[in-house]
Amino acid sequence: MRDFWNTALRDLGKIGVAYILITVGTWLVFMILIPQLIMFDYSLRPMLPLRELGGPKDVWTLKNYMVFFSNRLHMAIFFKTIWSSLIVTVVALVICYPIAFYLAKVARGAKVGLLMLGLIIPYWINELLRLFAWQIILADLGILNQLLIFLGIIVDPINFRMGNGAVILGMTYAYILFMVFPIYNVMESLDSNQLDAARDLGSSWLRIHYKIVVPHAKPGIAVGCTMTFMLAAGTVAAPQLLGSPSSFWFTQVINTNFECANWNLGAAYATVLMLLCVMFMFIMLKIFKVGLKELTQ
């Protein structure tokens, strides 16, 4: 420990060390850790009128979580959020894997740059506007209905926003690019000679992917899936813009709790969402046998 400080002071000087301690310390303590802990603390306390705060009733309890687990509707919404996010993740993975591979190992020269720009532009366009585009397409008078009517497939416009399909579609569109880039990044570092060698030895392309490309791309796939799942499960915008008013999503339930000023219950629901995302990340790490350390490279 003394060695650590000595080296730190020697390499970075007093001001440098102080700078690091202050910036990172503030960030770590006041922006990352304490707010999370306070949210957790909130979730463990009952909602009380102002005058009873700090009184005998203001103790830790699991009551808020009990409310959640005993509310059938909310549980159903929670599971809907899980499976929808899973669908989004899987669909994004299936669509993006070939794109990432093509960009990383097949395309050459200026084409790569152009296609990459084609991915970067939508990536930077505001999430809300990307969802808005689908709001227009899926509207009763929207292009999709018009097209289907024109083709004679349907007579009356379909209300796409009735079910959950529109939200899932919108989420996929909005977050798909978070899957492409991490996978691309790791595939790019794969030695092309390995692929050529395997091809020379007569491996089928399916086998090449299964044996060489996928094992190499595992960390990227794990990150891509974690990001996509997290964004899908945590989105407020997609259900707000594309969901039907009669079918809520989990983030909307959280939002309602806050709007109804039951912050404690809202905090409990938020904690549940947080735990879901953390669990998903660890499941990804487990499935792809990637260590946290490997992710950090």
Among residue numbers 166 through 225, which ones bind another protein (CB under 8 A)?
173, 178, 181-182, 184-185, 188, 220, 223
Identify whether the C-beta of residue 128 lies closer than 8 Å to the C-beta of residue 122: no
Q: Token pair 């404690």 is at which residue?
A: 264
Nearer to another protein, 46 or 234 (CB): 234
Tokens, residue 29: 């303590």
Nearer to another protein, 164 or 177 (CB): 177
User: At closest approach, how far in Å is the CB of 129 from another protein?
Assistant: 5
> Scanning residues 266 to 295, which ones bind another protein (CB under 8 A)?
266-267, 270, 273-274, 277, 281, 292-293, 295
Measured between its terminal Cα atoms, the distance across the chain in Å is 25
> Scanning residues 54 to 73, which ones bind another protein (CB under 8 A)?
none
Judged by CB under 8 A, the residue of 48, 62, 94, 106 near another protein is 106
Rounded distance between C-alpha atoms, residue 123 and residue 175, angstroms: 8
Position 115 contacts another protein (CB under 8 A): yes
Tokens, residue 226: 């974690």
User: At closest approach, how far in Å is the CB of 120 from another protein?
Assistant: 5
How many CB atoms lie under 10 A from the CB of residue 150? 9
| Interface with another protein: number of residues (CB under 8 A) | 99
Rounded distance between C-alpha atoms, residue 179 and residue 96, angstroms: 7
User: At closest approach, how far in Å is the CB of 58 from another protein?
Assistant: 13
Position 118 contacts another protein (CB under 8 A): yes
169: CB partners within 8 A, 6+ apart: 134, 138, 242
Identify whether the C-beta of residue 225 lies closer than 8 Å to the C-beta of residue 169: no
* Residue 111 one-letter amino acid: K
User: At closest approach, how far in Å is the CB of 242 from another protein?
Assistant: 10
Position 135 contacts another protein (CB under 8 A): yes
Identify whether the C-beta of residue 254 lies closer than 8 Å to the C-beta of residue 85: no
User: At closest approach, how far in Å is the CB of 178 from another protein?
Assistant: 7
Count the residues in the chain.
297
Position 244 contacts another protein (CB under 8 A): no
Tokens, residue 22: 């202050």
Nearer to another protein, 164 or 187 (CB): 187
User: At closest approach, how far in Å is the CB of 294 from another protein?
Assistant: 10
Contact string 14-53 vs another protein (x = CB under 8 A): xxx--xx-xxx-xxx-xxxxxxx-xx--x-----------
The alpha carbons of the chain give a radius of gyration, in whole angstroms, of 24
User: At closest approach, how far in Å is the CB of 188 from another protein?
Assistant: 7
